[in-house]
Chains A and B, each alone.
Chain A
Amino acid sequence: MNSTSVLPKEAQAGTLQNVKARQRHQTIKLMKRNVALYLFLIPAVAYIAVFHYAPMYGIQLAFKSFSPAEGIWGSPWVGFKWFQMFFESPRFWQLFGNTVILSFYSLVAGFPIPIILALLLNNVGNLKFKKFAQTITYMPHFISVVVLVGMISVFFSPRSGFINTIIQAFGGDPIYFMGEAKYFRHLYVWSGIWQSMGWSSIIYIAALSGVSPELHESAMMDGASKLKRIWHIDLPTIMPTMVILLIMSCGQIMSVGFEKVFLMQNSLNNTVSEVISTYTYKIGLMQAEYSYSTAIGLFNNIINFTILILVNRISRKLSGSSLW
């Protein structure tokens, strides 16, 4: 792959076989030189082979009706029965839409904020304050979802929540945030951002530490403002990290975490808050029908994976960074 790009001129000169043979020769030479690197890969590869690939045969259950007595291999095939059951549900499109909208909103709103936070922190001169701010913003990551949702419900209560007290102090009417479907997505996404922005910014902060101070100094000599330097020095430095994380987030579009949605759901907002994971949970088949949950998981991940491949390809063309 890489060797081809190194040898375009020879490729034109020689015959096809010649080129291939030379490439092979080159590859073997590289492999020999980099034996140590292959050894480096062994722990991770072994882990993935054992814990990910060895159980992979379970995928067939999506097309079978699992019967524990007969085991995974022996269970009878049912074709696309589970998929059909799912697609034919009268609410399939509503669920699909809710899921995609919720995660797309999370992605669009949630992706830039950690980057902005990292850039802000990077421009703080006072090291103590910087450390303090970094640690504080990272802490919400550890609050469990049950407690988070409980706090949202208390803070946003139309009767006693302090958010509504503030709204009323400014002359507004109390808003029933948890009870109106239109607020569900905002509450979900922004509480998520609140919880994860500090955690997600860590990787950018680390990447920004790789920027050479000399670059900034020489840019300053040229009279570049801070904003300009962020744009021309800092952003390009973290660009590869940003792109990779963006690609991976795009590949998560069908995966909306179950627990938080489920806890935030109520009878007033369930038209927008019902997503694929909560629906399948409620239908009770997750527990009873192992094959059904495998099928739904497979469906979600085929979409995720397809999106990932597409985005990865686009990114390789546009930015040169890609997963593979």
Chain B
Amino acid sequence: MRKHNRYLSMFLAALMAAGIFAGCGEDNPTSSSEDTSSGNSSAASTGGSDGPAMEGNLYLEGTPIVKEQETYTIAVIRHTLCKADSFNDKIGWQQAEEDTNIHIEWIEVVSGTEGEKVPIMLASDLPDAFLGLLNESHVAKNMSQLVVLNDLLDKYAPNVVEQYAQVPDMDSMMKFPDGNQYTLATSLQVSHDDDGDSMFFMNMKWLEKVGKEVPTTTDELYDVLKAFKEGDPNGNGQADEIPLELCENNWAAGIMKFAGPWGITGNYKIVDGKFIPTVNTQAYRDFIEYFHKLASEGLIDVEGFSQTNQQFYAKLKEYVCGAYGGWTPQSNFDTETAKEYDMIMPLTAPGYEGQTVKTGEWSRFRGNRTGFAITTACESPETLLRWWDYLSSDTKRKWTIAYGEEGKCWEMDESGQVWSLFPDTDADYTRENMKYTEGSYGQQPLILESEMERNDGDLYPDAVLRYNWSEAVKDYYEKEVLPQRFVTPEKTNEKAMIETDLNDYIKNFLATSVINGVTDESWNAHLQQLEALGINEWVQWYQDFLDKKF
């Protein structure tokens, strides 16, 4: 078969204009096995009595990790903002090579192509390891291609074991239903900036102009929005104000982010371990009816259901939007305008006092649980595991991998606290570029909560604002959330089959009802449609998940 193919290849090549391509199709795949086989040929044996303990070429403690240099191939995601020629130009990986004597040959997968490339690699071109490329379903479907780490961790990755013990529920988060651990975590354990999710911002200057107080109830919000609509708060003499701007395509500005006053943050909630849908409740209907009232009086932007993100951002910049949901006003406006906007606290709806909730979750685990995985193609998983353990063993090292050289984007004080730095950069090479060019942000071994960086508010107000806001609304977060746990591919398929239909339908019902209103008739039809699309199976699936039945 192989020979046959070779023959065809030569034949095809001969069809081409001869000679033109000489030099274009050079053979260059250097297989890692050639490089690594030398050290591992002798079976595990303890090194000489005077030297450190060894297994073949592998030292069991300290650095370097291997005696003779070894090469491993690691497939890694290459971020769009990365301007480095190669991952080996990044200081974090250079230092690692110097210390460990392990050379990494990076297969850089350009962001946006991983969806096609990863399955091919898994099926026919396994690297020694994947970094930042696999997701849960990849792992679940390709367990046989990955090395089971259970028994290796204690011996070869003591630092990792020790660190994971500090993370609540880490074991249940990392193990697959078959009881095996196939992956190691990357990225950050927590990020309080994110915990608050989307925030509700309002223009305080406009509020002053129309003579209103900061709303605390949905009725007051209605009054404020009405005043925005009619009072020409942007002062251009035109009634072009959009009191409340929405954008379903934006992660932060969808209409569901505003359902909190009715005790709703999503299509379900969990109360005392029970999984309860919200989409068939009176509260959901009241929420829709409130927004229908806003829509019919032109107080929300119904184009929000279809517009692109770019249109959304452009409208914000036009200075016509009174209120919206987002990350920080600073990221949506110029510095001066941003000061006019401030977060408003979660509102209450009449009849739902005390039930207000807010999307978000304090101290949510933010690590990428499938960040690093060693494959069966790897000659010596022990070596790579030790390499990862080495990377994990030091806070500075992790940050160097994440951000690049100390003193540029970050620094550590005497107490060991890491501080974010904001070097002067130009528009073509911003701090964000630095993170992905000099560092490999997000691909570093899991940074624990205790190792988290902090921001000096003067230098970087956004992060401090985010932190404070997230904390301010802390009491409104849902008390119970779905745990993060891997499930089998069969179960994932089962859920996907129900959920895709259900979610599509719910979104459509919500959007059309906000525009056209709800009647008893349409509401009953809605309830029936939910049944028909399998809402009961859906609830059952999640209930079983909560009860750890699979």
Contacts and interface: CB of A to CB of B under 8 A. Distances in A.
Interface of A: 43, 46-47, 49-50, 54, 66-70, 85, 89-91, 149-150, 153-154, 157-159, 176, 178-179, 266-271, 274, 279, 282-285, 287-290
B interface, size bucket: 35 or more
Nearest to B511: A267
The 4 closest A-B pairs by CB, nearest first: A69-B144, A288-B137, A267-B507, A178-B306
Nearest to B310: A150
A183 to B, nearest CB: 11
Contacts of A268: 305-306, 508, 511-512, 515
A89 B497 contact: yes
Contact of B302 (A68, A149, A179): A179
Given A268-B512, A279-B500, 8 more contacts: A43-B15, A153-B311, A158-B302, A176-B306, A179-B306, A266-B249, A267-B507, A269-B306
Given A91-B501, A282-B500, A289-B493, A153 B306 contact: yes
B534 A150 contact: no
A307 B290 CA distance: 50
A68 B142 contact: yes
A287 B119 contact: yes
Contacts of B501: 89-91
Nearest to B499: A283
A8 B409 CA distance: 88
A284 B140 CA distance: 14
Contacts of B430: none
B282 to A, nearest CB: 22
Contact of B145 (A49, A69, A158, A283): A69
Given A50-B8, A68-B142, A266 B248 contact: yes
7 contacts: A54-B5, A85-B497, A89-B497, A149-B308, A157-B307, A176-B303, A288-B138
Interface string B90-101: 000000000000
A176 B304 CA distance: 11
Given A153-B308, A153-B311, A179-B306, A46 B508 contact: no
Contacts, number: 108
A159 B497 CA distance: 37
Given A85-B497, A89-B501, A271-B508, A159 B8 contact: no
Interface of B: 5, 8, 11-12, 15, 115, 119, 122-124, 137-138, 140-142, 144-145, 248-249, 301-303, 305-308, 310-311, 489, 492-493, 496-497, 500-501, 504, 507-508, 510-512, 515, 532-534
Contact of B510 (A47, A267, A279): A267
B11 A274 contact: no
SS of B interface (majority): helix
B305 A179 contact: yes
Given A90-B534, A287-B137, A157 B115 contact: no
B72 to A, nearest CB: 20
A283 B308 contact: no
A77 B289 CA distance: 51
Contacts of B534: 90
Contact of A283 (B12, B119, B500, B533): B500
Contacts of A285: 493, 496
A32 B15 CA distance: 24
A157 B493 CA distance: 38
A168 B496 CA distance: 44
B229 to A, nearest CB: 14
A266 B496 contact: no
B145 A68 contact: yes
Contacts of A54: 5
Contacts of A158: 302-303
A154 B532 CA distance: 37
Contacts of B15: 43, 46
Contacts of B140: 288
Contacts of A153: 306-308, 311
Contacts of B306: 153, 176, 178-179, 266, 268-269
A290 B119 contact: yes
Nearest to B140: A288
A90 B532 contact: yes
Contacts of B124: 68
A85 B508 CA distance: 24
A290 B497 CA distance: 16
Contacts of A85: 497
A154 B512 CA distance: 21
B500 A67 contact: no
A68 B532 contact: no
Nearest to B305: A268
Contact of B504 (A150, A270, A287): A270
A85 B507 CA distance: 24
A85 B534 CA distance: 15
A269 B122 CA distance: 37
A50 B4 CA distance: 11
Nearest to A177: B306
Contact of A287 (B115, B307, B310): B115
Given A154-B311, A267-B248, A284-B496, A159 B137 contact: no
Nearest to A94: B501
Contacts of B301: 159
Question: Which residue, of A43, A66, A266, A279, has the highest number of chain B Cβ atoms within 10 A?
Answer: A266
B507 A270 contact: yes
B324 to A, nearest CB: 15
B500 A159 contact: no
Contact of B303 (A49, A89, A159, A282): A159
A91 B306 CA distance: 23
A289 B138 CA distance: 9
Question: Which residue, of B140, B141, B301, has the highest number of chain A Cβ atoms within 10 A?
Answer: B141
Contacts of A279: 500
A150 B489 CA distance: 36
Nearest to A91: B501
Contacts of B500: 279, 282-284
Contacts of A274: 504
A25 B249 CA distance: 69
Given A267-B508, A270-B507, A274-B504, A176 B496 contact: no
A287 B305 CA distance: 27
Nearest to A146: B308
B311 A157 contact: yes
B305 A68 contact: no
B144 A50 contact: no
